[in-house]
Structure 1
Amino acid sequence: MSDSSMARFYRDNGYVLVKGLLSKAEARAYREECHAVLARLRHTEATWGSARELAGRVTELRHCHDAQFHSAAFARLMVDPRFTDVAAALMGSENVQLHHTKIFVKPAEKGSPFPMHQDAAHFPHTRHTLGAAIFHFDDAPEEKGCVRVVPGSHRAGPLPHIEEGGWHLPLDSWPLEAAVPVEAEAGDVLFLSYLTVHGSGVNRAAEARTTLLIQFRDPEDRPADDVHRSRGQGMMLRGVDPTGDR
């Protein structure tokens, strides 16, 4: 798919799955690096409270903020032109700035779901250029709790969220099973507007689901609230910061 085709699909639907952005060998190496990082860190349970209700049973989620500060492998990936060129094309900007990164691992057979939500509820911005790139380091079929999206939902703008249990949309109005599953293979990258309603199911498979999230923005898009600061936020991944704001 050409950059123009990807950008058009992204504008219309609020997401686009880029197949094979990384090779299988690269994805496997990054998967190993994710699990090595998590093995070095103190275990923290990252499951949203609302996910307990959604899953109907006890589930688990491993995660790590600011992955590039734990391994140089992720610092290199953040500035890989294969990623940054797509991000720039989708935003329609030559300049790509970092917001934050996270590793997410859904353990085998009990990986936690995410209720339907917009990322915009967590860190609103003024021009709504923010996007997420979800790097898949192993296969993510529906059985492993792949991301599910509501195509075109980004056009409605920011929606009111329920704060209790993790800033999510009402479970009865936005059922997870009604959203479109975006199954992916190792090496695929899912790009999402931060206004696109999305969530993910329980990992019921015998293998963990391993992903890296890189959240990016146009540097001229300013935060609407002073929330969700992270280490390295504001780093230029492509181009320059024309605002000169440090």
Structure 2
Amino acid sequence: MTEHLGADALTTYRENGFLLVKGLIGKEEARALREECHALLGRLADGPDPTWGSARELVDESVLRHELRHCHDVQFHSAAFTRLLTEPRFTDVAAAVIGSPNVQLHHTKMFVKPPETGSPFPMHQDHPFFPHRGHAVAAAIIHLDDAPEEKGCVRVVPGSHLGGPLPHIEDGSWHLPTDEWPLEDAVPCPAEAGDVLFFGYLTVHGSGLNTSAEARTTVLVQFRDPADRPTDDQHRDSLGQGMMLRGIDPTGRKEADPA
């Protein structure tokens, strides 16, 4: 058991499908990484807004616009993120939640929800995006500034992972029917700078609109047990996929045939 987890933490994770670890990184570390994120946005050319089309169903008609800033593979833009990915405080918890001493990177993303217009995400599982045989895939959302409800914090459905993969609607991205899985019925997970939310890729989750006067800044890390193989070729071209964050890859990186 990692020193950053309480005695009942893993039981809670297995039952609920998610776990918020308070203060996993320090406030000053979070502040410095936040500055790295916003500096990176300043260096990037404006690209397409990654807001899902289905997010429009979640926004009140009085909100004229909503937007999201993002960047994939942040570790290729700044060494600060490379150091973060291999930080034992993070990788030890990651190993604990997937039940393997070996932690392999799938991909990273930076998300910035701008003040007052930061886009929501409909409820969904991550499974449809990159299904794996053993479901030993999880995510960590690293909060680099405070994320109260008004900033559009992550919302989850406790225990939803126990039902296995769910049928999703594909309309530019994968999401669950918004009438059956309303965002407002999910449990909010407000967080402070330095907190890290871990959840399995079968856990139903989403996030609300940022209506506050401040940006919400997070880094998402998707990771897996390297012994768990994907069932198809989705996302196999991710630039950093396969990097070992902890332990070894016992497969020798031999790709198994899909299906």
TM-score by length of 2: 0.93
Per-residue CA distance 1:157-211 (angstroms, 9 max, x = gap) = 0000000142100000000000000000000000010000000000000000000
Tell me the residue number matched to 2:56: 52
SS at match of 2:54: helix
Per the TM alignment, residue 52 of structure 1 is displaced from its structure 2 partner at its CA by: 1.6
Instruction: Supply the distance in 1 between the matched residues of 2:144 and 2:175 (Cα, whole angstroms).
Output: 26
In structure 2, what is the equivalent of residue 124 of structure 1? 131
- Name the amino acid aligned to 1:241: D
Deviations 1:123-174 (A, max 9, x none): 1100001000000000000000000000000000000000014210000000
Aligned position for 2:101: 94
CA RMSD of aligned residues (A): 1.0
In the alignment, the residues of structure 2 paired with residue 94 and residue 3 of structure 1 have an alpha-carbon distance, to the nearest angstrom, of 18
Amino acid at match of 1:222: R
Q: Show the counterpart of 1:242.
A: 250
Name the structure 2 match of 1:68.
75
Indicate whether 1:34 and 2:41 are aligned: no
1:169 aligns with 2:173: no
In the alignment, the residues of structure 2 paired with residue 225 and residue 203 of structure 1 have an alpha-carbon distance, to the nearest angstrom, of 35
CA–CA separation in structure 2 for the residues paired with 1:71 and 1:130: 25
1:9 corresponds to: 12
Residue type of the alignment partner of 1:74: F
Structure-1 separation of matches of 2:46 and 2:120: 18
Q: Write the distance in 2 (CA, Å) between the matches of 1:108 and 1:12.
A: 34
Which whole-Å CA distance do the structure 1 matches of 2:154 and 2:88 have between them? 24
Residue in 1 that maps onto 2:257: none
Q: Secondary structure of 1:121's partner?
A: helix
Aligned match of 1:187? 194
Deviations 1:215-237 (A, max 9, x none): 00000000011001311100100
CA distance in 1, matches of 2:180, 2:69: 28
Contact kept? 2:152, 2:208, Cα under 8 Å: yes
Give the superposition deviation at 1:96.
0.3
Identity percentage of aligned residues: 71
Structure 1 unpaired stretches of 5+ = none
TM score, norm. by length of structure 1: 0.98
Once the two structures are TM-superposed, the CA of residue 3 in structure 1 deviates from its matched residue by 5.5
Q: CA deviation at 1:4?
A: 4.7
Distance 1:119 1:37, change over 3 A: same
- AA partner of residue 236 (structure 1): M
Number of equivalences: 246
8 Å CA contact 1:3–1:89 kept in 2: the answer is no
Q: Quote the Cα distance in structure 1 between the aligned partners of 2:155 and 2:121.
A: 10
- Are 2:5 and 2:93, in contact at CA under 8 Å, matched by a contact in 1? no
For residue 222 of structure 2, what is the aligned residue in structure 1?
215
Deviation at 1:212, TM superposition (A): 0.1
Pairing partner for 2:88 from 63, 78, 81: 81
